[in-house]
Amino acid sequence: MATTQNTHEILILGGHHAGVNTAHYLLRHIIPTLSKQTPSTSYHVTMVCPNKEYYWNIAAPRHLVDDTQIPLAKIFLSIVNAFRPYKKEQFSKTVGKAVGLDEERKEVKIQIGPNETRNIKYSSLVVATGASYKSALWQVNDSDDATKNEFTAMRKALATAKTAFIAGGGPLGVETAGEISSKHPSITTTLLSGSKNLLTRLSASTSATAEWRLNNLGVKTLHDVRVASQSKNADGSTSLTLTDNSTRNVDVYIDATGGRPNTSFCPTSWLSPSGHVLTDSQTLRSTVQNGIYAIGDAASYSNGSIIAANGGVAPVATSIGIDIAKQEGIEGLFKQKVYKEMKDTQFVPIGPNGGVGQVAGWGVPSLMVWAIKGRSFFVGMAEGAVNGGSFKKA
């Protein structure tokens, strides 16, 4: 929907955890209030994303090895259905992805087909485009089928594999290694950490416990070394060269290293050296350009966790509401919510029977990790997440 003189267009780029829930919050708590106070202005939210389904990627490590306990239908949920309660004149969704941006015109160029683009104007812009990973398993891809097909292919490869090699010593790598070794104990599984220890955001003792648990499952761990290059062989195996100049030939290789923000379409002046949109760490406003906001993995405040994404929803939405109200000459219409980081907090299942975790730096028992996350990787929360269940109240 194009911006007109009497329409304030809020354009959200991204339809994953951050983008979906920001849209829900705006439509429930910000736009209704603005509409009552400024009847001469209409408000519209457009969400742009390549995915038609909401992907609960938190459960990816378990789904990778077991599609019966956590089937596709539990982790891929319709976005359109989740937004049916809202008026059509207030919300629309465009399938595509941002490939360019014109600051002066306030337009984003959207790729909506192989040879087709369209420009969408904005009054306020939310960058919630997330991050890209070297493996398609962990991210929103250009199509939902691409993600699903990657799981099918990897599951098929694991069924006959003798060796598996996982790069990445963070939660994703640790969880994936634990799931594979538990489900396929006959596979020689190796976890490659590019640091001196696993789970570098957690304490040394928690890290050591994680490695001990992995070793008990049969997982070998290598530290202070990374993958320098890789090549696919004709038989489906992968040849790897590591930074210590050693080589490996493995049946299954999975890259579980960190992602890079999807912000290449943004002006470089908006970005940090790492490619994140520079944002105020509490309000998530751009520190460079008025009317620009960023949330989740694309933003500089984030540590890359879903906790950071969800924790930014109320702050970014109230920032938008406050700024629009000021443009309309209204003060005090919304109370500013601020982002508060939950430091040193992670739950990392290691196999189906336990794991390690911390809350604000305090260690939690393995049984608690299993009870909170390890049983099902929060899959029961997926439907509530796509429906904005955590943000029914402001």
The predicted-structure confidence for 213-266, as pLDDT tens digits, reads as follows: 999 999 999 999 999 999 999 999 999 999 999 999 999 999 999 999 999 999
Q: Which residues of 324-338 are buried (b: 16+ CB within 10 A; e: fewer)?
A: bbeeeeeeebbeebe
List CB contacts of 298: < 8 A, sequence separation 6 or more: 14, 127, 128, 129, 130, 131, 261, 262, 263, 276, 277
C-alpha 217/C-alpha 350 separation (Å) is 9
Q: Do 7-50+96-131+259-341 and 136-257 come out as alike in CATH topology?
A: yes
Domain boundaries, the chain: 7-50+96-131+259-341, 136-257
83-132 pLDDT per residue, tens? 999 999 999 999 999 999 999 999 999 999 889 999 999 999 999 999 99
Furthest-apart CA pair in the chain: how many Å?
68
Q: 197: which 2 tokens? A: 């220890």
What stretch of H or E contains 189? strand 188-192
Quickly name the fold that domain 136-257 has. Answer: FAD/NAD(P)-binding domain (3.50.50)
C-alpha 171/C-alpha 307 separation (Å) is 14
Residue 52 is given by DSSP the state S
How many helices, marked H, and strands, marked E, lie in the chain? 12, 22
Tens digits of pLDDT across the chain (394 residues): 444 458 999 999 999 999 999 999 999 999 999 999 999 999 999 999 999 999 999 999 999 999 999 999 999 999 999 999 999 999 999 999 999 999 999 999 999 988 999 999 999 999 999 999 999 999 999 999 999 999 999 999 999 999 999 999 999 999 999 999 999 999 999 999 999 999 999 999 999 999 999 999 999 999 999 999 999 999 999 999 999 999 999 999 999 999 999 999 999 999 999 999 999 999 999 999 999 999 999 999 999 999 999 999 999 999 999 999 999 999 999 999 999 998 889 999 999 999 999 998 899 999 999 999 999 999 999 999 999 999 999 8
C-alpha 60/C-alpha 30 separation (Å) is 33
Rounded to two decimals, the pTM is 0.95
Cβ atoms of residues 33 and 334 within 8 Å:
yes
What single letter denotes the amino acid at residue 217?
Answer: L
C-alpha 305/C-alpha 318 separation (Å) is 21
Quickly name the fold that domain 7-50+96-131+259-341 has. Answer: FAD/NAD(P)-binding domain (3.50.50)
